[in-house]
Amino acid sequence: MHRTLRVAALTFLVLPITAVALAPQASADAGAPARRMLAQLKVAKPLSIRGYSHRRFQPRWAHHKGECDAREAVLARDGRGVRRNAACQAVKGVWRSPYDGKVLKSVKQTDVDHVVPLAYAWRSGAKRWSQAKRRAFANDLTRPELVVVSHSVNMAKGGQGPQSWRPPRRRYWCRYATSWITVKHHYRLFVTRAEKVALLNMLRTCGR
């Protein structure tokens, strides 16, 4: 009888200790896939901005389905209660900007941001691409390249990389760095040394 009670007590004590011991390991591994992809990217100096223009990537948003273009598809995907007119333009909805946490209740407050800015992609290797590939990059709905954010935070970001601009909302750093790396890895764009360091620093927030 007493031996049974002692075994039960020991079991009760061991389980919480095991759970606590495993928790840091799970957190430490949260950014591992992104770090592995980042390690595979070439590190190089940025190319010249000479020859760049927005139109080299996106003279206009590409059609997605019917009258809907890629921008309208992203607005519908990222919003709540989105209503569109006959031309597929969003006229009503609510969006939450992940970069700064702002709740946007008017489409006029929104921008569809390219996570890896077009000008930055140009200097990371897209300068050497065909026009068709650049257009596919600018309208990519499969990779995490397009996201609805507030107009103000998008203006603050501009064409900067993570070594000079990061989302004001620290909680989003892990997701932002992972998205950035995923896009660059898929398109085989290179990173600069400073960019890589900045991305690794943001990945340290994964799982926290």
Q: For 76-109, what is each residue's pLDDT tens digit?
A: 999 999 999 999 999 999 999 999 999 999 999 9
pTM as predicted: 0.85
Share of the chain above pLDDT 70, in %: 87
Residue 76 placed within a domain: no
Q: Across-strand partners of 149?
A: 111
Tally of CA atoms within 13 A in the half-sphere of 97 that contains its CB: 23
Do residues 145 and 185 make contact, with C-beta atoms less than 8 angstroms apart? Answer: no
Q: Which domain holds residue 42?
A: 31-61+111-203
Residue 95 placed within a domain: no
pLDDT of residue 15: 33
Residue 14 placed within a domain: no
| Mean pLDDT score, 144-162 | 98
How many CB atoms sit inside 10 A of residue 140's CB?
A: 19
**How many angstroms separate the CA atoms of 140 and 129, rounded?**
15
Domain count, the chain: 1
Total number of residues shown for the chain = 208
Residue 128 placed within a domain: yes
The band of 65, judged by pLDDT with boundaries at 50, 70 and 90, is confident
**How many angstroms separate the CA atoms of 18 and 54, rounded?**
54
Q: Looking at this protein, which amino acid is placed at residue 26?
A: A
**How many angstroms separate the CA atoms of 97 and 100, rounded?**
6
Do residues 93 and 163 make contact, with C-beta atoms less than 8 angstroms apart? Answer: no
Q: Across-strand partners of 84?
A: 90
Residue 146 placed within a domain: yes
Measured distance between the N- and C-terminal CA atoms of the chain, rounded to whole angstroms? 44
Residue 118 placed within a domain: yes
The band of 29, judged by pLDDT with boundaries at 50, 70 and 90, is confident
Residue 45 placed within a domain: yes
Q: How far is CA 36 from CA 26, 33, 46, 181, in A?
A: 16, 5, 22, 10
Q: Across-strand partners of 146?
A: 114
